[in-house]
Amino acid sequence: MKRLPAVLALLALIGGALVLHLTKPSDEDLQGPFVTYAGFGEQVEGRDLTWEAEYAYLADRLTAPGWTGETDGIWLVIEGTIGSKLGITTPDVSVRVGERIYEASDRPGDAVLGDSLDAGLPQAGAFAFELPRSVLESEEGTHVTARIANGFRVRLDSAIDMVLDLTQLDHRGTAALPQPGMATP
């Protein structure tokens, strides 16, 4: 009986350690980004980036001066205004569909956003993503996440996410990309 308190204390310690182990933060929690979620028509800020989405749509074909973008898949276009708060930066913009990640296409060249941004001088235009057509019929297509960040693998830095349901977006045959340009600072 004299050892009972010690045994109980030991069991309590083991139980506490087990609870700690089961509730400890995951690597994603410890190393992952600080995410800010964006909607349409509202400006959101990360540590160094600002973003305001205006519109998103799907298109079978994109056009820009001197360029026509044919694809076997489908184009996802997100129009908006992106800015840098503190210094020159080249944002990384991607779309996650399930486990697959698609980087913003550079096929349209100067007709899309993606060049370096100077502090306080936001750019308005569009990002275009070339996706397989099958995503429109998949469950994953209803919950697609577009991410805007300072790098591809964001560790302990901010990221701006937009959740899109591709099945609810306008679907155009041919769409003209807006010419990127400086937005009102």
Partner 1 sequence: MSRFRGWARRNLWTIVALVVLGTASVVYAFAFDWREYQERTPTQPVDVPRGEVGTLGAARFQVEEIVYLEGDSDEGRRYGVAEGTDVLIAGVRVTPDPEGTEDDYVICDIYLHAPSPDGEREWWGSTSNPTSYPGDEMNPFSCQMGYGPEYVIQLYYTVPAGGAVGGYLQVTSPEELPRALRLY
Site residues for partner 1, 43-102, by CB under 8 A, read: 85-88
13 binds partner 1 (CB under 8 A): no
Q: With the CA atoms of 158, 183, 164 and 86 taken in that order, what torsion angle do they form, in degrees rounded to the nearest 10?
A: 0
Q: Which residue from 32, 55, 119, 157 is in contact with partner 1, where contact means CB under 8 A?
A: 119
Q: Which residue from 92, 103, 110, 118 is in contact with partner 1, where contact means CB under 8 A?
A: 118
Residue 27 Cβ vs partner 1, minimum distance, rounded to whole Å: 19
157 binds partner 1 (CB under 8 A): no
- Per the DSSP assignment, residues forming a β-bridge with 181 are 124
3-class SS string, 117-176:
ECECCCEEEEEEEEECHHHHCCHHHHCEEEEEECCCCCCCCEEEEEEECHHHCEEEEEEE
Of the candidates 60, 48, 19, 176, the one whose C-alpha atom is nearest the C-alpha of residue 108 is: 176
23 binds partner 1 (CB under 8 A): no
Q: Which residue from 39, 41, 109, 120 is in contact with partner 1, where contact means CB under 8 A?
A: 120
Q: Which residues bind partner 1 (CB under 8 A)?
A: 85-88, 118-121, 182, 184-185
